[in-house]
Structure 1
Amino acid sequence: MIKFLLFSLSFSHVFSIVASQALPSYSGRNGEWQLLHESVGISAMHMQLLHNNKVIIFDRTDFGPSNLSLPNGICRVDSSDTMLQTDCTAHSILYDIVTNGFRPLMIQTDTWCSSGAVLPNGTLVQTGGYNDGDRNIRSFTPCNDDEYCNWIEFPQSLIRRRWYASNQVLPDGRIIIVGGRRQFNYEFYPSSWNGVIFLDFLMETNDQGLENNLYPFLHLLPDGNLFIFANTRSILLDYNQNMVLKEFPKIPGDDPRNYPSSGSSVLLPLDENDAIIEPEIMVCGGAPRDSFIQAMQGIFIRATSTCGRLKVSVPNPSWTMEDMPMARVMGDMILLPTGDVLIINGAELGTAGWELGRGPVTRPIIYRPSDDVSNWRFSVMSPSPRPRMYHSSAILLTDGRILVSGSNPHVYYNFTNVEYPTDLSMESFSPPYLSPEYDPIRPRILSADEKMGYGGKLFWLSFQVQAYLTVNVLSVTIVAPSFATHSFSMNQRMVLLKIAGVTDIAPSTYNLVVAGPSTAEIAPPGYYMLFVVHAHVPSYGRWVKIG
């Protein structure tokens, strides 16, 4: 039986555990919620953290006006828009995590239920959407004076329409774009010579009238191949040769895990300290197969409460199943700097879709993927006062908080006479490791190289910690910022780097030498957040460019 616990441990207990060479348990505070803005003017359907500590947030354009005006009397004129051909309100914002300020951005065509990924140079590439935006590509490049940064649109730049597709950055910096509604194929950005490649697997996993395979879960594996999960099935794809190399066993239980039975998925942290890196996929939550039809009739079935873990590189892979403390659909899974997994947002009943979810799950849970079965697997966190259901999103920030925003289970923005009004607020969740109780053992990065190379090339940084314990509880992690939408964080990735040496250079101050990632298959090129983790307590992150 899997254990879970509502924690109430004291700080003095932390040091007694660390002294015995185990990692500390979480603080009894169970995390903290903070309201950042009562309204940012739009509902956060999509979010992406950029390497200048700004967050791109955007919704769709075809629901009418938002609650935020475009600046200087600017209006969007789009004769194809299904609601407003002239719209003077914003449907995207740029949020500054340092100042807590935000400003409106201009999106021209519809970005409803789209996908995205960040190029190695830090530019966000957003792909697809709906209506006149379904084959468009949009880019946003951070700049020093962000008042001059805005979206740039490239009409009809995709070969096929991409609505509910998923993206993954590849080792060579390209982006693979997989699936979407009635799209049983994939293509690349930039476009490749072979155009669109048909993938039978996407047609086979499409439940007629229900789908249950949209926003497929994509994970790039250390061997360079792509793991794709849709519905209850998963394959290993060699996208260079356009060959399916393997199909894995179905996840037990027959409950679909992809939209609209929206579960979530992560690639668990890759550890460069292991002689052989064994990638492991985790999938949590979802909804029974007929939940969508039942919810359309006003019957809201309990969501799926199981998680499955699959070691994909072993000779005979099989799923290991575990039970969460509560059922959850439309939840987001986020890798924390410690290597733990946060599961946040969502509902206990129903499924994704307009008006189809009930019973908001306001308590996040933290899952510790340790192989030590004596460890508590799940810990239940403090609840948010706000339901975050359909069209909400969440991402990890450089300071270790989780940015949470959005929730709009209605066709249009609706704030009155409904059970779950459209939510335009923004809040943050601080996991227990941010508790002041842990300040004595919290590292603080003083300096670090700005670039990191492949092939185990050495990388230098210095850090300070008031009460240094032992190198046995010290680690360095890099985390790729993800594109979050519809319960899946695209391109999310964490690598534990190999420590080459630690040197005491002054009181409470240390030099640390680590080896960069072995290959671009383990860490595709681009910007990553780098954390020093000491006794399961992370520093604030520093941006580093890899490749």
Structure 2
Amino acid sequence: MAAEAKPQIVTHVNKLNYFSILLLLSFNVASGAGGTWKLLLNEVGISAMHSQLLINDRVIMYDRSNFGPSKISLPSGACRDSPNDVVSKRDCSAHSIEYDVAFNSIRPLTIESNTWCSSGGVTPEGALLQTGGDKEGERKARMFYPCDDESCDWTEVDNALNVRRWYATNHVLPDGRQIIVGGRNQFNFEFFPKTKAPSLYKLPFLSETYDVGQENNLYPFIFLNSDGNLFIFANNKAILLDYNKNTVVKTYPKIPGGDPRSYPSTGSAVLLPIKNLEAEVVEMEVLVCGGAPKRSYLLALYKNTFVKALDTCARIKINDDKPQWVLEKMPRSRVMGDMILLPNGHVLLINGGSSGSAGWELGREPVLNPDLYHPNKLVGSRFQVQNPSTIPRMYHSTAGLLRDGRVLVGGSNPHQFYNFTDVLFPTELRLEAFSPSYLESQYWSIRPRIISLLSHSTVNYGGILRLRFMVFGIGGVRSPVKVTMVFPSFTSHSFSMSQRLLVLDHVELVRIGVWTYEVRVKAPRYKNIAPPGYYMAFVVNQDIPSEGIWVRLQ
């Protein structure tokens, strides 16, 4: 049976014509491993199933609240009744933490209801909105407002959602609201805050992409397009949705080969860097990588057979008149991997396994090496293998970009409960950081250092953004110097929700001192291109980014 589930690569010309695609499956990995790993904390008390960087450079992490005590106590010796906990009906441990990047420290936070396999995103004001979960938490929303001391904690909003949201996806919208799409047995979407009647909108696309006994349509990949519509990918299909009218305005071809890429056949996806923001039609390109062949989940669950994961990525220009997927091969198979946009526009593929699927005990062969993807290089030279971690990051792992350019990596708990012994992949409480090669000391002489704007400054839509920076190497600045803006994403189950990177249109680069320069760029003009809120802004010189600063776009 396992052989039936192996991915089939289409090679015959007639089949190419049938799919109307170009398959680019031969590749060469760019030479030279890069990047370094550092263990930050040996134990953070919880397994980081969900994570979100906030504007005070602290990262909120949480797992679920009904599977027994964690390894960190609630604040001030508090306890809470937990009637749905199958291990402990009274729980004195925390299931959420705040990680302080600057001090490399944690503090416990209090969540009152179950946040298992939920979704979220940041508001224009910089707060974290979290939605859904399981059992008593399935229709709740939770807010976390960042603070500079230790006074802030979770607050909960009862009945904030119309239906149960478990394994759903959020996306920040141009008006600052968030749309919540799908979830287990939910073929619909809604908004937070709630809209007036109707407050729940049917989405047949989610039932059309549902595989009986496997699902393969959970945690759909969602991206805001430049026309204000939403690109929604589930299983192996995608649509462009006008959510205001609840109308499908475009249906895309099925991804080549037809294998699923959504949970539990979990791949990942990013919206590639958005450029030429002043163009009449802004090019938007989606990259989907990894996943598991058809029936992999069933074979792992019922037959203890772990099929090799998919080893392909697919790109599509979603605004083309006749968009087509273009396939290319990765250096390795990967399921449950994360994809992170780096400040210089490269994409980091990290975490996951190379066989099996998502779900309890269903993944095998951990992938320890990240892979760096260069979107602008020629096909065949886009991937670069990075140095490996020593820690498997399987199901329920997370990764996210920090303002200093590192990638924070945590989590991995492929078990029903916390399980630290006598299992293939013990519940993982260690927190580590991956530093891409652009942080290496050899690039010190060309690395920009922003000296103004001040962090947390406000930038208006369509305005001129002036960033002064220093580069201490002689002749170390080469035009064009880029300015990129990265929206901080909510990460869970191998997908970074609302993640986007903008390359701002260049106006002028001026040298104003021996080591000092000023770059002037245009802020995005439209909320469809860049929803309002806080972004990390970086100056990039010769592919080497500065440390970012927070700017608020409004």
TM-score tier after normalising by the smaller chain length: over 0.9
Residue 321 of structure 1 aligns with which residue? 327
Give the unaligned 5+ runs of structure 1. 9-27
SS of 2:56's partner is coil
Which residue of 351, 358, 365 maps to 2:357? 351
Deviation at 1:451, TM superposition (A): 3.7
Task: Return the letter of the residue paired with 2:125.
Answer: N
Within the candidate set 525, 535, 538, 2:532 is matched to 525
2:190 is the alignment partner of 1:184: no
**Residues 1:380 and 2:385 aligned together:** yes
**Which aligned runs of 4 or more in structure 1 are off by greater than 2 angstroms?**
1-8, 78-85, 272-276, 449-456, 467-473
Measured after TM superposition, the shift of residue 532 of structure 1 is 0.3
Q: What is the rounded CA distance, in whole Å, between the counterparts of 1:540 and 1:495 in structure 2?
A: 16
Identity of aligned residues (%): 53
Q: Which moved more, 1:519-528 or 1:463-472?
A: 463-472
Residue 281 of structure 1 aligns to which amino acid in structure 2?
V
Q: How does 1:3-14 map to 2 (within 5 A)?
A: 3-5=27-29, 7-8=31-32
Q: Which residue of 2 aligns with 1:12?
A: none
Query: Which AA in structure 1 matches 2:435?
Result: S
Q: Which residue of structure 1 lines up, in the alignment, with residue 14 of structure 2? A: none
Alignment match, 1:267? 271
Distance in 2 separating the partners of 1:427 and 1:6? 25
* Amino acid paired to 2:44: V
Alignment of 1:201-350 (within 5 A): 201-272=205-276, 275=279, 276-296=281-301, 297-350=303-356
Matched, 1:478 2:478: no
Q: Give the Å deviation of 1:378.
A: 0.1
Whole-angstrom CA distance in 1 between matches of 2:269 and 2:498: 11
Q: Which residue of 1 aligns with 2:552?
A: 545
User: Structure 2: which amino acid aligns with 1:151?
Assistant: W
Structure 1 residue aligned with 2:45, among 41, 48, 56? 41
Alpha-carbon distance in structure 1 between the residues aligned to 2:479 and 2:61: 39
Displacement of 1:273 in angstroms is 5.4
The one-letter code matched in structure 1 to 2:518 is N
The alpha carbon displacement at 1:459 in A equals: 1.4
Structure 2 residue aligned with 1:174: 177
Among 89, 93, 96, which residue is 1:92 paired with?
96
- Equivalent residue, structure 2, for 1:421: 426
When residues 191 and 273 of structure 1 are mapped into structure 2, their CA distance, relative to the original with a 3 A threshold, is closer
Moved more, 244-253 or 458-467: 458-467
Which of 510, 519, 524 lines up with 1:503 in the alignment?
A: 510
SS in 2 for 1:270: coil
Aligned partner of residue 476 in structure 1, secondary structure = strand
Matches of 1:272 and 1:102, distance apart in 2: 40
Give the match's secondary structure for 2:512: strand
Native 8 Å contact 2:49 2:397 kept in 1: yes
Residues 506 and 472 of structure 1: CA distance in aligned 2, closer, same or farther (over 3 Å): closer
Mapped pair 1:71 → 2:75: yes
Whether the aligned pair in 1 keeps the contact of 2:66 and 2:84 (CA below 8 Å) is: no
RMSD (CA atoms): 1.3
| SS of aligned partner of 1:222 | coil
Q: In the TM superposition, what is the alpha-carbon distance from 1:514 to its structure 2 partner?
A: 1.4
Task: Give the aligned partner of residue 371 of structure 2.
Answer: 365
Shift in Å, 1:373: 1.6
Match of 1:463 in 2: 469
Distance in 1 (CA, whole Å) between partners of 2:153 and 2:201 is 32
Q: Is the 8 A contact 2:351 2:393 kept in 1?
A: yes
Q: Which residue of 2 aligns with 1:23?
A: none
Taking the aligned partners of 1:375 and 1:292, their CA distance within structure 2 comes to 30
Deviation sequence 1:338-377 (CA, Å, 0-9, x none): 101000000001000000000000000000000x427820
1:501 maps to amino acid: E
Cα distance in 2 between the residues matched to 1:260 and 1:520: 33
Q: 1:241 to 1:273 in 2, by over 3 A?
A: closer
Moved more, 60-69 or 498-507: 498-507
Correspondences of 1:136-155 after superposition (within 5 Å): 136-145=140-149, 147-155=150-158
2:434 pairs with 1:410: no
Counterpart residue identity of residue 441, structure 1: I
TM-score for both structures, normalised by structure 2: 0.93
Pairwise CA distance, 1:473: 3.9
Q: How far apart, in 1, do the equivalents of 2:380 and 2:83 lie?
A: 58
Query: Which of residues 65, 73, 89 is equivalent to 1:61?
Result: 65
1:469 Cα deviation after fit: 4.3
Report the alpha carbon displacement of residue 156 of structure 1 after superposing the two structures with TM: 1.8
Deviation of 1:73 after TM superposition, in Å, equals 1.3
Are 1:6 and 1:381, in contact at CA under 8 Å, matched by a contact in 2? no
**Alignment length, in residue pairs?**
525
Q: 1:374 to 1:421 in 2, by over 3 A?
A: closer
Contact kept? 1:2, 1:377, Cα under 8 Å: no
Give the TM-score taking structure 1 as reference length. 0.94
Cα drift, residue 511 of structure 1: 1.6
Q: Residues 78 and 85 of structure 1 are in contact (CA less than 8 Å); yes or no, is this contact kept in structure 2?
A: yes
Give the secondary structure class of the aligned counterpart of 2:223. strand
- Match of 2:375, SS state, is coil
Deviation of the 1:79 alpha carbon: 3.0
Q: Deviations over 1:247-283 (max 9, x none)?
A: 1001001110000000000000111356342100110
Query: 1:119 — aligned with what?
Result: 123
